[in-house]
Structure 1
Amino acid sequence: MILPILADAAGYLHFDQLGLNPVAVDLGFFQIKWYSLAYIAGIFAGWWYMMKLLAQPGAPMAKRHAEDLVFYVTLGIILGGRIGYVLFYKPAMLLHPIEVVKLWEGGMSFHGGLIGVVLGLTYVVRKNHLNWLRVHDYVACCVPFGLFFGRLANFVNGELWGRPTTVPWAIVFPNAGPLPRHPSQLYEAAGEGVLLFLILWFLFWKTDARYQPGKLVGTFGLVYGIIRFSLEKVRNPDAGLEHLSWGLTMGQTLSVPLILLGLYLILTAKGRRQRVEATAGTESVA
């Protein structure tokens, strides 16, 4: 199977032909990479959208709470994402601690970042006596922005490529050998970013899901978990983590709890349906 692919590799698009550069701004003494800008864009887009959500009746927190929230969420994304990446995918980096802090070189784990975000949210919720699940519902609607920009940055960096394939849109990545591969970063941007956002947008704006605590964040966990689990079949796993002893990749393994938790939150959400008093405003929503 590999030999025919290798023989035809010259006929596929090569990543170098796209003219993409991981560095967005190069001043010689200082560089700004697209990877960093992707995180900034995701946070600002998420913040903008959160303001739109909070302007609707029955919001679980005021804008002043969201201002506090964005700091701890950002901290959770950065620390959780990096620590998760090291623990889940590159534990050997612990032998060289200086490598752990080189965030500008890439290497973040969504699942680790998710844990960090939950911890940050929990602190803000307890501090301000807010509804834990409802705050998570609103934040979940904003997360796809970060996932979308992050996956695009992975593509620009020429990292996290897919498995070898013969599909017409396959790309030969310079650091992945001579074989054409799935541009799985773009698949993930479309699934985890665009599709997931549209599903949550519909539930928030066209249904009463936001008045059923846990339904939106449950949908996020379920849909993200299914997308990530499925795309692991075309995404090239990290070395040594292709097939763990239980038959799954690390990405699939970490997605299973998300799927199960998401299903539970969705199925039990209607039982948590309640009369919601608006935090920001005077209108009550039954």
Structure 2
Amino acid sequence: MPMLAPPLFALPFPSIDPVLIELGPFAIRWYALAYIAGLLFGWWMAKKLCSSPALWGGRAPILPEEFDDAVVWIALGVILGGRIGYVLFYNLPYYAANPFEAFTLWHGGMAFHGGFLGSILAMYLFCRRRGLPFVSMLDIAATVVPVGLFLGRLANFINGELWGRASDVPWAFVFPHGGPEPRHPSQLYEAGLEGVAIFTILLLAVRAGALARPGMVAGLFVFLYGCARIFVEFFREPDAQLGYLYGGWLTMGMVLSLPMLALGSWLMLRARRRPALGADVPA
């Protein structure tokens, strides 16, 4: 990769302590608060969706109190799946040599794609146990997930981790652990695309009646996330232990996101071909 010319201007990284409160061995980090805040907001919004018959073309197939019970399953799926995904996809040789480190969640290391699969498995098991429509549960979760992604990416920025590639753009930052070169704030790019942009599009789709077609919102989210993640990977520095794959430009994030394009397209096509909820209810 050619060396960049020294930039005329670079933004200093804001001095925000990743630890909000520290009392002896007990510490509250912004990253943990992002997970908690995203979960609580998602919980609240999901119950609002379940309480709005107009969005479903009739009574919602999942009651608000049923989603209350699902939250614990989803949270466990996200945490366990995110950690297992990081261990398997991003740093397997290290954890194979140090297996007990896989349990040290406080040292960081979570993978979205792992959390995505873990949450899907958790929702499937929960719906099967309760006799609830799995695809509609996916639609509800997909609508609220971008909020958690937005908060999580902001926390990544505060932590000064997952920074972007070296750049001479005027909004580049010199990250405290990223060397002397200014870099793309790729965490903020992801917060804007995965969080704000996708959330806005999904809300518009929900208001247009997408929840009445099971799988439409979930498919739209999966497809849009895959597009956003692949795009941002061109600006994000790949993990040091992996680097670039297959010819020096492909990254693990791209590889894991490509199937999401196919899955999202299939879900949306399937939703379009099936009758909408309430279609058989007489006017």
Q: Tell me the TM-score normalized by structure 1.
A: 0.91
**Does 1:196 find its partner at 2:210?**
no
Q: 1:153 aligns with which of 152, 155, 167?
A: 155
In the alignment, is the contact (CA less than 8 A) between 1:33 and 1:104 conserved in 2? no
Query: How far off its partner does 1:129 sit?
Result: 1.1
Query: How far off its partner does 1:100 sit?
Result: 1.3
Query: How far off its partner does 1:285 sit?
Result: 8.9
Q: What corresponds to 2:230 in structure 1?
A: 229
Query: How far off its partner does 1:60 sit?
Result: 2.0
Q: What corresponds to 1:127 in structure 2?
A: 129
**Does 1:169 find its partner at 2:189?**
no
Return the alpha-carbon distance in structure 2 between the equivalents of residues 272 and 46 of structure 1: 27
Q: State, as a whole percentage, how many aligned pairs show the same letter.
A: 47
Q: What corresponds to 1:14 in structure 2?
A: 12
Return the alpha-carbon distance in structure 2 between the equivalents of residues 285 and 254 of structure 1: 44
Task: Read off the aligned partner of 1:21 and give its amino acid letter.
Answer: D
Return the alpha-carbon distance in structure 2 between the equivalents of residues 19 and 240 of structure 1: 27
Return the alpha-carbon distance in structure 2 between the equivalents of residues 203 and 163 of structure 1: 34
Query: How far off its partner does 1:167 sit?
Result: 0.7
Tell me: CA distance 1:285–1:215, structure 2 relative to 1, closer, same or farther (3 Å): farther
Moved over 4 A (4+): none
Return the alpha-carbon distance in structure 2 between the equivalents of residues 101 and 159 of structure 1: 20
Query: How far off its partner does 1:3 sit?
Result: 4.7
Return the alpha-carbon distance in structure 2 between the equivalents of residues 3 and 201 of structure 1: 41
Superposed CA deviations along residues 192-219 of structure 1, whole A, max 9, x for unmatched, are: 01111001100001x1211111110000
Q: What corresponds to 2:250 in structure 1?
A: 248
In the alignment, is the contact (CA less than 8 A) between 1:35 and 1:106 conserved in 2? no
Tell me: CA distance 1:55–1:94, structure 2 relative to 1, closer, same or farther (3 Å): same
Task: Read off the aligned partner of 2:137 and give its amino acid letter.
Answer: V
CA RMSD of aligned residues (A): 1.7
List alignment gaps of at least 5 residues for structure 1.
278-283
Q: What corresponds to 1:80 in structure 2?
A: 81
Query: How far off its partner does 1:257 sit?
Result: 0.7
Q: Tell me the TM-score normalized by structure 2.
A: 0.92
Query: How far off its partner does 1:14 sit?
Result: 2.5
| SS across alignment from 1:123 | helix
Return the alpha-carbon distance in structure 2 between the equivalents of residues 199 and 190 of structure 1: 12
**Does 1:42 find its partner at 2:38?**
yes
Relative to structure 2, which stretch is displaced further, 238-247 or 173-182? 238-247
Task: Read off the aligned partner of 1:248 and give its amino acid letter.
Answer: L
Return the alpha-carbon distance in structure 1 between the equivalents of residues 90 and 72 of structure 2: 26
In the alignment, is the contact (CA less than 8 A) between 2:222 and 2:261 conserved in 1? yes
Query: How far off its partner does 1:130 sit?
Result: 1.3
**Does 1:51 find its partner at 2:47?**
yes
| SS across alignment from 1:276 | coil
Task: Read off the aligned partner of 2:34 and give its amino acid letter.
Answer: A
Return the alpha-carbon distance in structure 2 between the equivalents of residues 170 and 3 of structure 1: 13
